[in-house]
Amino acid sequence: METEKPRRVVHRFEVPVACRNEDGTPTSIGLYELTAREEMTAAKQTKGDPVRLAAALVRVSLATWDDKPVDRSGGEDEAIWNKMGARLRNLIMAAYAKVNTAGEDETADFLGTHQAQV
């Protein structure tokens, strides 16, 4: 009996017309929240280069392009990344940060629980 892969949340964003490629794509993109393993794999592949790591993390998080799944195993994520213009790449990096970074309130709540113990 084949086990079913666990479903993952996809965070979907509409792409402004002005930031789409010349062919009008994508109208939307979807991002996954990365697993610790995916983050570590990206870090190893980029050999500690922080600029390459930032791009690799975002690229690996690509889940959908125009509501169609992105095949990361076949290198489709890299092909899509290379096809994008700079404005769209920057939007997607901002979306990645929004999805994967705690907000100001969450950060303040968390840091507000700080205790020092001996």
pLDDT tens sequence across 8-51: 899 999 999 999 999 999 999 999 999 999 999 889 989 889 99
115: in domain? no
Return the pLDDT at 1.
52
Spell out the SS3 assignment of 4-34: CCCCCCEEEEECCHHHCCCCCCCCEEEEECC
Return the pLDDT at 7.
82
Across residues 64-80, what is the average pLDDT?
A: 90
Residues 6+ away with beta carbon under 8 Å from 83: 21
112: in domain? no
Indicate whether 67 pLDDT > 90: yes
Q: How far apart are CA 70 and CA 26, in angstroms?
A: 12
Q: State how many domains the chain has.
A: 1
2: in domain? no
Q: How far apart are CA 23 and CA 29, in angstroms?
A: 15
Q: How far apart are CA 94 and CA 3, in angstroms?
A: 35
Residue for token pair 């979306």: 95
